[in-house]
Amino acid sequence: MWGGRFAAGPDEVMAAINVSIGFDRRMAKQDIEGSLAHVRMLEATRLISAEDSSAIQGGLNTIASEIREGRFPFREAYEDIHMNVEARLAELIGTAAGRLHTARSRNDQVATDFRLWVRDAIDAGLDQIGELMSALVDKAIAHAAVVMPGFTHMQSAQPVTFGHHCLAFVEMFERDRGRLRDARARLNESPLGAAALAGTSFPIDRAMTAKTLGFDRPMRNSLDAVSARDFAMEYLAAGSILAIHMSRLAEEIIVWSTAQFGFVRLSDRFSTGSSIMPQKRNPDAAELVRGKTGRVIGSLIGLMTVMKALPLAYAKDMQEDKEAVFAAADTLSLCLAALTGMIGDLTINPDRMHASASAGFATATDLADWLVVQLKMPFREAHHVTGRLVKAAEKKGVDLTGLTLAEMKAVEPQIVESVFDVLTVDSSVASRSSLGGTSPDNVRREAETWRDKLKLQ
């Protein structure tokens, strides 16, 4: 396809390092979409005849069918998806196929195809994140009042509700969707018509092709159009943060499902056994979500390294952009599906959660707050008094509720019987009714709001 300048074909090693059809065939759908938009524009601007346009469009639609049905002959001899499609088009319709590449280069062609592919990946990812969020919202509604320990430094801190914990991840995943939407908005400009790097002398209509392909507008600089890959890096950056959030959720599931915690139980569908220890139920799906985060982050770092010192405009280094993005998109999709399934099947152990929340002096902050409100004590002083009471309870081997009123008065004489009303974990979570707090009423209200919002999206 490009051999006119050369007296001999490429070396075998050169062919091996240069060929990309093994992976860029994944852009076949986008390549045909871009070519159909281009040929319609060529006809509209009278750069090719209606007869040639009709033949080209018919051939491209035939190729699209062959690809969908698994009958298309992908051939390494034609390097990439663009040349494979053009070569097959020539076999189907003859010399008219050569007119398709009028006013177009593989540089703007691949840039267009890649943007279309990433845009489709973002749209699919947004749907999958929404499904995961819905699964978390369902769990939050079902377990809005289930008390569990909240941790800081992985130490028991204050009681929260399981529903509140689920909604924390809903908020995180919504920000992930926001980042992906932002990335989509920035990438949604058309490179098509920039040609190799300098534009074209043909009187093309770039606004027409942009509109046909669903882009907001054509890119305004031909050099930038063919050489920009920040849209792919931004997708991978947003995907990396999403992967980290999924990994954090997976880590919670792994810890909670241990015998030592016993907060949740994964279904058989998302657990595996041991080849030697018959009692084992391993959370392998969650562990793999956690582990695959490295692949996504690695894809981002790899592409950033490829691009970090490239001069304008196009260089063959940029062929290395696609495998990283394809791999990351596959990984994100698989992990989202696995997590959604795990959350949907997850069984909660409310009694174990409640018992754990009641241990470790989790209501100490409630005691300090009571001293501030009821005894008008400065918070710092209340903090010290509570610390001495915790020490007394620890020495006695009981929780705060195990101290007698007399033992409390020995530390702070003003304490009265009503202090015990705030020392249960249930009263603690019920009192956290400020905006964003963990009270069951808050959780139910927030979860229902999220459920309605997700139904509309």
Closest CA to 87 of 100, 102, 104, 69: 100
Residue 265 backbone phi and psi in degrees, to 5: -135, 125
Greatest CA separation for the chain = 101
How many C-beta atoms surround the C-beta of residue 451 within 10 A? Answer: 15
In this structure, what DSSP letter does residue 242 have?
H
Q: Compute CA distances 243 → 44, 172, 184, 398, whole Å.
A: 45, 11, 18, 42
| Neighbouring C-beta atoms of residue 69, cutoff 10 Å | 8
Report yes or no: 295 and 240 within 8 Å, Cβ to Cβ: no
Which is the catalytic residue, given 49, 65, 267, 274? 274
SS3 of residue 132 by DSSP? helix
Q: Catalytic site residue 153?
A: yes
Measured from the Cβ of residue 231, the count of other Cβ atoms closer than 10 Å reads 21
| Cα 439 to Cα 146: distance, rounded to the nearest angstrom | 10
Backbone angles phi, psi at 274, to 5 degrees: -110, 145
Q: Where are the beta strands (DSSP E) in 171-251?
A: 189-190, 217-218
Give CA–CA dist 446/457, Å, rounded. Answer: 17
What's the burial of 245, exposed, middle or buried (CB within 10 Å: 0-12/13-18/19+)? buried
Single out the catalytic residue among 153, 275, 418, 434: 153
Q: Which residue has the tokens 């792919």?
A: 232
The secondary structure of residue 49, as a DSSP letter, is -
Q: Is 133 exposed, middle or buried (0-12, 13-18, 19+ CB in 10 A)?
A: buried
DSSP letter at 9 equals: P
**Tokens 């007399």 identify what position?**
406
> Which residue numbers are catalytic?
153, 274
